[in-house]
C-alpha cells in the first residue's frame, strides 16, 4: 500500500513539475513576443494600410486587452492545440510545425548519432591516456568544436567542400529536379524516399545532408567527448577498477567492461541534453544550408515579423527539450539501482 501511494505521489509530483515548467515556458515565450519591437499588425496589413484598417486588425488580435488577459487567452488556445495562424503562410502554426519539425528531427538525429559514435570513444580514450598526447589532441579537437561558432564553421565548410572541392551537394534538402517527387508521409526525406523506392532521391538527399549532419555531429561530439572524459576520469579512479586490474582483468575489460559501464548512467543525461541542444542550435545551420526545418522556419518568421510562428516554434523546441530532460531522468532511474532504492 505504501509503495503504491509513493508511486502515485511521485507520478503526481512529476506531472505538476512538467505542468509548471511548460506554463513558465509559455509565459516566457509570450512576454518576450510582446516585448520584441515588432508590430504584428503591420506584419498583417502592411505599412501602407489606412489607420481604420490598422485599428480594426488591432482589435481583432485582442491587443487592446491587458497583458494578463492576452496571456490567459493564449494559454487556453494552446491547451486546445491552437497556436494561431501564421501571417507568412496563412496556415495554422501547428500545421506548419508538424510539416517542418520532421526535417529538423532527421538532421539532429543524424548529428547526435555521429556525436555519440565518435564522441564517446574519444572521451574514453582521452581519459585513459590522461595528460598524454592523445588526451591533448582530442581535447583540442573538442575545444575547437565547442568554442568556434557553428555558423562560421558552416560557411567555411560550404566554401571548401561544396564550392571549391565539389565533394558534397549544396544548400537545400534535394536538388530542384527532385523536388515534389516523394510524397510526404513521415516528413523525413530519407525514410519517405526509401519507403517509396525513389533511390535517386534518397542518395541525392544523402549528399545534401552530409555536410550539415557532420557539422551538427561535430558540435555534439565536442560536448559529449568532453563530458565522457570527465565522467571516465572519475570512474577510472575508483577502487573497483583497481580491484579488477589486481584480479587480472585486461585493460579493455577494466575500462570498457567496468568503468564505461558505470559511466553510461550519467552519460544518458549528457546525450539527452546534447540532443536537445542540437534541436535548439540547428537554427543557424538550417538557415545557412536552406534546410526546410523548424530552425529555418523560426528564422524566416522572425524576419517576416510573424510572431505567432516564432512563438509556436520556440515553444515546440522548449517542450521537446523539457521532454528529453524528463526522459533522461526516467532512464537514469531505470539504469541506476541506487536511485530506485532511494525513491522507494
Q: What is the pLDDT along the chain (344 residues), one digit of tens a residue?
A: 566 666 667 667 777 877 787 788 788 878 877 776 677 777 677 677 777 877 787 787 777 778 888 888 888 888 888 888 887 788 888 888 888 888 888 888 899 999 899 988 998 888 888 888 888 888 888 888 878 888 888 888 888 888 888 888 888 888 878 877 888 888 888 888 888 888 888 998 889 888 999 988 888 888 888 888 888 888 888 777 777 777 777 777 777 777 777 777 788 888 888 888 787 667 788 888 888 888 888 888 877 777 788 888 888 887 887 788 777 777 777 766 555 554 55
Spatial separation of the C-alpha atoms in residues 70 and 61, rounded to whole Å: 9
Distance CA 204, CA 190 (A): 10
Between the CA of residue 201 and those of 142, 188, 197, 290, 329, what are the distances in Å? Answer: 34, 12, 9, 17, 39
C-beta separation of 173 from 190 below 8 A: no
Q: Which ranges in the chain are annotated with CATH 1.10.3720.10?
A: 97-343
CA distance 93 to 70: 18
The residue among 270, 252, 284, 232 whose CA lies nearest residue 112 is 270
Closest CA to 275 of 205, 211, 230, 328: 328
Task: Judge residue 318's burial from the number of C-beta atoms within 10 Å of its C-beta, 0-12 exposed, 13-18 middle, 19 or more buried.
Answer: buried
Task: Tell me the average pLDDT of the chain.
Answer: 81
181 with 192: CB under 8 angstroms?
no
Choose the CATH number for 97-343 among 3.40.50.1980, 1.10.1130.10, 1.10.3720.10, 3.30.930.10.
1.10.3720.10
Report how far residue 232's alpha carbon sits from residue 75's, in angstroms, rounded to the nearest whole number. 44
Q: Are 111 and 216 a contacting pair, CB within 8 Å? A: yes
Cross-strand bridge partners of residue 85 = 92
* Residues in a beta bridge with 92: 85
Going by C-alpha positions, the residue among 111, 58, 90, 93 that lies closest to residue 286 is 111
Q: What are phi and psi of 130, to 5 degrees?
A: -55, 130
Q: Considering only the C-alpha atoms of the chain, give the largest distance between any 2 of them, rounded to a whole number of Å.
A: 86
Phi, psi of 92 (to 5 degrees): -60, 135
Burial of 94 (0-12, 13-18, 19+ CB in 10 A): middle
Amino acid at each position: 500500500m505504501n509503495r503504491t501511494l509513493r508511486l502515485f505521489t511521485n507520478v503526481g509530483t512529476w506531472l505538476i513539475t512538467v505542468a509548471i515548467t511548460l506554463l513558465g515556458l509559455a509565459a516566457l515565450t509570450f512576454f518576450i513576443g510582446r516585448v520584441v519591437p515588432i508590430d504584428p499588425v503591420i506584419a498583417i496589413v502592411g505599412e501602407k494600410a489606412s489607420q481604420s484598417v490598422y485599428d480594426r486588425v488591432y482589435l481583432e488580435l485582442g491587443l487592446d486587452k491587458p497583458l494578463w488577459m492576452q496571456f490567459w487567452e493564449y494559454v487556453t488556445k494552446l491547451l486546445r492545440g491552437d497556436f494561431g495562424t501564421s501571417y507568412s503562410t496563412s496556415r495554422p502554426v501547428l500545421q506548419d510545425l508538424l510539416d517542418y519539425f520532421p526535417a529538423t528531427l532527421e538532421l539532429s538525429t543524424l548529428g547526435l548519432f555521429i556525436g555519440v559514435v565518435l564522441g564517446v570513444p574519444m572521451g574514453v580514450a582521452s581519459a585513459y591516456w590522461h595528460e598524454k598526447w592523445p588526451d591533448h589532441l582530442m581535447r583540442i579537437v573538442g575545444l575547437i568544436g565547442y568554442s568556434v561558432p557553428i555558423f562560421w564553421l558552416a560557411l567555411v565548410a560550404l566554401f571548401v567542400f561544396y564550392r571549391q572541392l565539389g565533394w558534397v551537394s549544396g544548400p537545400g534538402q534535394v536538388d530542384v529536379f527532385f523536388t515534389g517527387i516523394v510524397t510526404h508521409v513521415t516528413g523525413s526525406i530519407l525514410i519517405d524516399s526509401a519507403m517509396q523506392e525513389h533511390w535517386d532521391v534518397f542518395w541525392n538527399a544523402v549528399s545534401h545532408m552530409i555536410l550539415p549532419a557532420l557539422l551538427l555531429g561535430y558540435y555534439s561530439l565536442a560536448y559529449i567527448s568532453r563530458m565522457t572524459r570527465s565522467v571516465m576520469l572519475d570512474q577510472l579512479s575508483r577502487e573497483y577498477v583497481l580491484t579488477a586490474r589486481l584480479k587480472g582483468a585486461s585493460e579493455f575489460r577494466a575500462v570498457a567492461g567496468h568503468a564505461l559501464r558505470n559511466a553510461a548512467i550519467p552519460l544518458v543525461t549528457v546525450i539527452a541534453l546534447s540532443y536537445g541542444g542540437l534541436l535548439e542550435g540547428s537554427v543557424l545551420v538550417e538557415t545557412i544550408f536552406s534546410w526546410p526545418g523548424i530552425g529555418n522556419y523560426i528564422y524566416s518568421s522572425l524576419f517576416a515579423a510573424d510572431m505567432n510562428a516564432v512563438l509556436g516554434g520556440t515553444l515546440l523546441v522548449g517542450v521537446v527539450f523539457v521532454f528529453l530532460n524528463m526522459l533522461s531522468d526516467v532512464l537514469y532511474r531505470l539504469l541506476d539501482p541506487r536511485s530506485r532504492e532511494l525513491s522507494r
